[in-house]
Structure 1
Amino acid sequence: MMNNVSLVGRLVKDAEVLSFKNSDKMALKFTIAVERTYRNAKGEKGVDFIQIIYFTQFADKLSKYVIKGKRVGVIGRLAVNSYVDENNIKRYQTNVVADNIQFLDKIERQEIV
């Protein structure tokens, strides 16, 4: 069985750093806009907004580069989670759990400092 996802998109907003109770694990959570390949009847391309979770011990350091408007490549897997909301309705949420992220825009020297 295979569960692989490869995406290229632009960050919709700055990444959020997640930390977990009783753990030293950290993650980055961000959303990318991925343009669809086909056009609708009006000639417009649609966009999908995909939430990404990237577990890394360097989340706090990486977060300053994962900012709105930047282009990134993501390789990972789909993860579907379920929960019961406040109205006792079962909900599902689909995320991409990233194994690797690649910065596709040139990083200016002053951004690194």
Structure 2
Amino acid sequence: MNNVNLIGRLTKDAQVVEMKSGNRSVINFILAVNKDFINDKGEREADFIPISYWSNHGEKLCLYLKKGKLIGVNGRICIKSSVKEEIKKYFTTVEAHKIEFLEHNKEVLA
């Protein structure tokens, strides 16, 4: 089973990339998720996790995915690779299946 649940804040506004076919888009953003402990300086650290969400309504959803917004994400861990100059690199992302807004967006509702 590959399932992950995260709660955190967006580090910047989400970016939408339209697919060439025109009927789907992918929304990319970084989610800052607080760690369960406080460091030696008395500060709470965070992990910065890249998230991708495939949608048919990417532009509309991006109206709500703004910097600092508190959201919950359900998805799966995805390992991808790329080759550059004959060197293969791996990177980990979360492919979101569900996004839940945990606070109101006053700017959009107004």
Gaps of 5+ in 2: none
Tell me which of 98, 103, 106 is aligned to 2:104.
106
SS at match of 1:83: strand
TM-score by length of 1: 0.89
Deviations 1:2-39 (A, max 9, x none): 10000000000000001222452211111110010012
The equivalent residue for 1:56 is: 55
**Which residue identity lines up with residue 43 of structure 1 in the other structure?**
G
2:46 maps to 47
Q: Normalising by the residue count of structure 2, what TM-score does the alignment of the two structures yield? A: 0.91
Q: Which amino acid aligns with 1:6?
A: N
Extract unaligned runs of 5+ from structure 1: none
Per the alignment, in what secondary structure is the counterpart of residue 60 of structure 1? helix
Indicate the residue corresponding to 2:12 in structure 1: 13
| Distance of 1:11 and 1:104 partners within structure 2 | 12
* CA distance in structure 1 between the aligned counterparts of 2:18 and 2:91, rounded to whole angstroms: 20
Q: Which residue of 1 aligns with 2:86?
A: 88
User: 4+ residue runs of structure 1 moved beyond 3 angstroms?
Assistant: none
Residue 45 of structure 1 deviates from its aligned partner by 2.0
- Measured in 1, the distance between the counterparts of 2:69 and 2:21 equals 32
Aligned length: 110
Amino acid at match of 2:10: L
In 1, the alpha carbon distance for the partners of 2:81 and 2:22 equals 22
Structure with the largest fraction of strand: 2
